[in-house]
């Protein structure tokens, strides 16, 4: 998680274009608009120059201005620059109003360009890039037809007298080329609609809201361009009206593109998908991936705040170091009710504040659950460890008690008994005294027996002292039924393992005596594949009841605390098999 | 000689043995010292506490087994706060000659204890009655012990503890001949081959009872 992913195209941070550049472009756009009006009004061949200039400015200036704003707000998105280029490219067509031959020729060459540019911009939304080969072919073909065929037409002398490109005067051929050109471009515009519909389908439900909106609003623009071009080709009388309406629609488009680009809908869509991902209760790694997708940052790191350790950690509990200032990474703190929950380490989102805020909000809601989950897991792990420690500490304490009994009370009682015996000899002649002393010695002998039983109950000292194999001999000999004991251990094992195994056998044999009504039992102890395997099998009635269950529960605790497991098979009438497997590698 | 880390008990034992006319040639408190002194004094018998420093686990037992292996002429009597069948089997793994394993409590039954010490010193054996009764109480699916009469059972118990025929006769207040009759009857019923020495008899009985 901590290793940074390789830089990714969409997530690479792009330097903000300098404000002076943006201002210069905006001013250039205004200058171009002014120029357009100047050209129209100084033209010797334009009817209604004001209207024509306004129409052209209507479709150029919004592109430039929208492009500047888009570039400013989304510096890593190529759509802004594309809109700027589109605006200036379309502006070129206004040169055809110039009276001088050269600008007139240039302007004429770019007369049909706005249609191709619009198709390009339309298909490149919202990334600024054409996404499929078909889209690139369509746009390439549109440019070729719009400019290439225009140049051919001009070479055939198909337009006015000042055309510098005219080589021959073949008006009929020029007309034919123009028809082909207009039909081709309009067909490509309609194909653009088909491509968008296809994109909408393949994007699936999650991209539909804004994709649908764009297609619905600007599919109209493409259709109108197609109609306009066909009207030109077939010289329909309503051409001029269609042209004006079409320009009107095309002029609105960049504003809509800009809104689409900057609209929080984009952020909302990312966050909406994030919430869908989160609702599916993702696995921890998927949770991080969901945020990585929402923020378009594959190297995103999700760190949880662990208050009890006062440190950051990933979901596996490994510590995470948050990057410092100047690392090029941004950190978003996720708090819940004023309590720190987690942190997202991601690419800077200074220019997408809406996205950052929306993702933060989603994270605040969802991560608390994840953190609690992680905390619960951590506690569970800790609990497992502490169960082991508690059992081990208990065992150590019992061992200490047992040793104290043996080395203290028991030794003293034996010495006392010995003293009494020596006294007995000294009072050999006094029968009353000797019988009293002997009674006392018998009492001591009984106490010693009881003490021994108590000590054995506290801790099986023979296991610690002499190993499992030796200890099991007595258990098997004292067993409630004939027992076949097989111990296959080459060396001593860790003491707590041996003690656990001892208790498994002793408790199981006690159960055999109490409940099984068995005729015989076997005890097998062996080490295999890094495991100590203890198995106690009887031929009794099976169907262990709940009373047996509690004893088995204690055994299971002991075995599980050592990372092992205890299993019991006890079918009715089929005997009982208790099997403990404890790792001992 | 004596190896016992509790000074109180060690002194008491030494006095007891001394009073009984046995010569305590050396005393020690740990296994290392014990091995050194066994080598230098070559005693008839070493009385060894099974729990000796430093860990109080199996140092005493290991020392006892070492003496059995390296100094076969030295009898070993192991004393323990608890008697375990598994340990008895370990001590008597190869033979019951000159070996004993008794509960520490037994030392206050001075006469029996001194007799056991003497037996082990002379190459015989002494096994704690608890071991024997554990073995006798053992559940068997087809119990051959059921064929024994109560008296034969008593004789078997004493035999298993290492008692000599004379010892059995004294304990049961019967004649030596009667004991011999019981012994051969028991061996017959259990299908054991008659063996000469009394300590070999212990091993045979032990092996039989354990199986």
Confidence band, pLDDT 50/70/90 cuts, at residue B26: very high
Output the pLDDT for position B25: 93
Is A471 within 8 Å of chain B by CB?
yes
pTM of the prediction? 0.56
| pLDDT given for residue A506 in this prediction | 92
Residue B149 shares a structural domain with residue B123? no
A500 with A552, same domain? yes
| Residue B105 to residue A419, Cβ atoms within 8 A | no
Residues A253, A284 within the same domain: no
Residue A441 sits at the chain B interface (C-beta within 8 Å): yes
A540 touches chain B (CB under 8 A): no
Mutate which of B105, B135, B137 to disrupt the A interface (most A C-beta within 10 Å)? B105
Are A454 and A465 in the same domain? no
B127, B150, B185: which is the final residue of a domain? B127
Number of structural domains found in chain A: 4
HEC string for A111-136: CCHHHHHHHHHHHHCCCCCCCCHHHH
| Residue A33 falls inside a structural domain | yes
**Is there a domain that residue A491 lies in?**
yes
CA-to-CA separations, A198 to A164, A201, A204, A257, A325, in angstroms, rounded:
43, 5, 10, 20, 45
* pLDDT score recorded for residue B47: 94
Instruction: Examine the domain organization and report whether A421 and A372 are in the same domain.
Output: no
In angstroms, the separation between the Cα of residue B88 and the nearest Cα of chain A is 9
Region of poorest pLDDT, from A321-335, B26-40, B69-83, B98-112: A321-335
Note whether B56 and B156 are same-domain residues: no
CATH label of the domain that carries residue B81? 3.40.50.2300
Confidence of residue B195 (pLDDT cuts 50, 70, 90): low
Task: Provide the chain B residues 133-192 that lie in CB contact (below 8 A) with chain A.
Answer: 134-135, 137-141
- The size of chain B, in residues, is 211
Has residue A7 been placed in a domain?
Answer: no
Structural domain boundaries enclosing B53: 2-127
Q: Domain check: are B8 and B105 in the same one?
A: yes
Whether residues A376 and A403 fall in one domain:
no
**Kindly report the CA angle at A532 between A529 and A536, in degrees rounded to 5?**
125
DSSP A153: H
pLDDT (0 to 100) of residue A370: 65
The pLDDT of residue A6 = 37
Distance separating alpha carbons of residues B180 and B159, to the nearest angstrom: 11
B15 contact A CB<8A: yes
* Domain of residue A504, residue span: 461-583
- Asked whether the beta carbons of residue B139 and residue A479 sit closer than 8 angstroms, the reply is yes
Q: Closest CB to A415: pick one of B8, B85, B137.
A: B8
Chain B residue numbers with beta carbons less than 8 Å from the beta carbon of A421 are 16, 108-110
Read off the CATH number of the domain in which B168 is found.
1.10.10.10
Answer whether A445 sits within 8 Å of B16, measured CB to CB: no
* CA distance to partner chain A, nearest, from residue B55 (Å): 9
Same structural domain for residues B87 and B176? no
Domain boundary among A332, A352, A387: A387
The answer to whether A455 faces chain B, any CB pair under 8 Å, is: yes
| Residues in chain A, total | 585
Instruction: With beta carbons under 8 A apart, name residues in chain B contacting A483.
Output: 139
The answer to whether residues B13 and B100 belong to one domain is yes
B135 to A520: CB separation less than 8 angstroms, yes or no: no
Residue in A303, A361, A311 with CA at minimum distance from that of residue A329 = A303
**Is residue B43 pLDDT above 90, yes or no?**
yes
Using one digit for the tens of pLDDT, what is the confidence trace for B82-95? 888 888 888 888 78
CB-count burial class (<10 Å; 0-12, 13-18, 19+) for B190:
middle
Within a domain: A3 = no
* Number of domains chain B is built from: 2
Give, for all 585 residues of chain A, the pLDDT tens digit. 333 333 333 333 445 677 888 899 999 999 999 998 988 888 887 888 888 888 888 888 888 988 898 888 777 778 888 989 888 988 888 888 888 888 888 888 888 888 898 889 888 877 778 878 888 999 999 999 988 988 888 888 776 667 778 788 888 888 888 889 889 999 999 998 888 777 766 654 444 455 456 555 677 888 888 888 888 888 888 888 888 888 888 888 877 777 776 664 555 666 677 777 766 666 656 778 888 877 777 788 888 887 776 778 777 666 778 887 777 788 888 887 778 888 888 877 765 666 777 778 777 776 666 666 667 777 777 787 788 888 888 888 988 898 888 888 888 899 899 888 888 888 877 888 888 998 999 999 999 999 988 888 888 888 988 899 999 998 998 888 999 999 999 889 998 899 999 999 999 998 888 887 888 999 999 998 889 999 999 998 887 664 555 677 888 888 988 889 888 888 888 888 999 999 987
A479: domain CATH number?
A: 3.30.565.10
């Amino acid at each position: 998680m901590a290793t940074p992913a390789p830089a990714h195209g969409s997530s690479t941070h792009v330097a903000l274009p300098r404000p002076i550049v943006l201002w210069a472009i905006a001013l250039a756009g205004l200058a171009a608009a002014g120029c357009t009006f100047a050209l129209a009004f100084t033209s010797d061949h334009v009817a209604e120059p004001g209207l024509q200039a306004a129409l052209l400015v209507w479709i150029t200036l919004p592109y430039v201005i929208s492009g500047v704003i888009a570039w400013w707000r989304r510096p890593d998105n190529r759509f802004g620059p594309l809109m700027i280029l589109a605006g200036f490219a379309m502006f070129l067509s206004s040169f055809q109003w110039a009276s001088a031959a050269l600008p007139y020729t240039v302007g004429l060459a770019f007369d049909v360009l706005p249609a191709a540019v619009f198709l390009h911009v339309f298909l490149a939304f919202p990334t600024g890039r054409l996404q499929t080969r078909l889209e690139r072919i369509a746009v390439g073909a549109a440019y070729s037809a719009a400019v290439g065929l225009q140049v051919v037409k001009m070479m055939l002398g198909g337009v006015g007298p000042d055309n510098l490109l005219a080589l021959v005067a073949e008006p009929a051929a020029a007309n034919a080329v123009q028809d082909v050109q207009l039909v081709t471009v309009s067909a490509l515009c309609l194909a653009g609609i088909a491509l968008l519909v296809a994109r909408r389908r393949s994007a699936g439900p999650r991209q539909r809201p804004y994709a649908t909106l764009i297609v619905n609003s600007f599919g109209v623009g493409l259709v109108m361009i197609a109609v306009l071009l066909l009207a030109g080709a077939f010289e329909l009388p309503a051409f001029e009206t269609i042209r004006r309406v079409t320009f009107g629609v095309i002029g609105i488009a960049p504003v809509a593109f800009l809104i689409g680009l900057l609209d929080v809908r984009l952020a909302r869509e990312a966050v909406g998908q994030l919430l869908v991902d989160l609702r599916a209760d993702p696995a921890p790694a998927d949770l991080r991936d969901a945020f990585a997708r929402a923020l378009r940052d594959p190297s995103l790191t999700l760190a949880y705040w662990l208050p009890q350790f006062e440190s950051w950690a990933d979901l596996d509990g490994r510590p995470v170091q948050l990057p410092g200032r100047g690392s090029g990474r941004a950190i978003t703190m996720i708090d819940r009710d004023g309590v720190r929950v987690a942190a997202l380490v991601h690419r800077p989102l200074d220019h997408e504040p809406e996205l950052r805020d929306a993702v933060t909000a989603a994270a605040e809601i969802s991560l608390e659950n994840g953190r609690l989950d992680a905390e619960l897991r951590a506690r569970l792990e800790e609990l497992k460890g502490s169960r082991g420690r508690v059992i081990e500490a208990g065992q150590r304490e019992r061992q200490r008690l047992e040793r104290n009994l043996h080395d203290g009370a028991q030794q003293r009682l034996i010495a006392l008994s010995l003293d009494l015996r020596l006294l007995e000899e000294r009072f050999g002649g006094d029968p009353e005294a000797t019988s009293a002393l002997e009674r006392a010695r018998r009492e001591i002998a009984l106490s010693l027996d009881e003490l021994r039983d108590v000590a054995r109950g506290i801790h099986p000292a023979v296991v610690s002292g002499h190993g499992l194999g030796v200890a099991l001999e007595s258990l098997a000999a004292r067993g409630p039924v004939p027992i076949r004991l097989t111990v296959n251990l080459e060396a001593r094992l860790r003491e707590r393992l041996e003690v656990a195994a001892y208790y498994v056998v002793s408790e199981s044999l006690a159960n055999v005596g109490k409940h099984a009504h068995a005729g015989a039992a076997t005890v097998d102890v062996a080490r295999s594949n890094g495991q100590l395997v203890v198995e106690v099998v009887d031929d009794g009635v099976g169907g262990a009841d709940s009373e047996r269950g509690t004893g088995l529960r204690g055994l299971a605790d002991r075995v599980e605390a050592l990372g092992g497991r205890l299993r019991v098979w006890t079918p009715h009438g089929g005997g009982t098999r208790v099997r403990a497997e404890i790792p001992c590698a | 000689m004596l190896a016992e880390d509790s000074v109180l008990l060690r002194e008491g034992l030494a006095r007891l043995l001394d009073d009984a006319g046995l010569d305590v040639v050396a005393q020690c408190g740990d296994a290392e010292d014990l091995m050194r002194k066994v080598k230098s004094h070559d005693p008839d018998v070493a009385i060894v506490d099974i729990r000796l420093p430093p860990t109080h686990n199996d140092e005493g037992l290991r020392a006892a087994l070492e003496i059995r292996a390296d100094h076969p002429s030295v009898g070993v009597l192991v004393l323990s706060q608890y008697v375990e069948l598994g340990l008895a089997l370990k001590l008597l793994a190869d033979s019951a000659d000159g070996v004993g394993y008794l509960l520490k409590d037994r030392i206050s039954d001075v006469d029996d204890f001194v007799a056991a010490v003497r037996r082990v010193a002379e190459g015989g054996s002494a096994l704690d009655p608890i071991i024997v009764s554990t073995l006798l109480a053992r559940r068997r699916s087809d119990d051959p012990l059921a064929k024994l009469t109560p008296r034969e059972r008593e004789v078997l118990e004493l035999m298993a503890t290492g008692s000599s025929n004379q010892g059995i006769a004294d304990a049961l207040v019967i004649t030596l001949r009667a004991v011999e009759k019981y012994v051969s009857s028991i061996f017959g019923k259990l299908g054991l081959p008659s063996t000469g020495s009394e300590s070999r008899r212990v091993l045979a009985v032990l092996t039989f009872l354990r199986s």
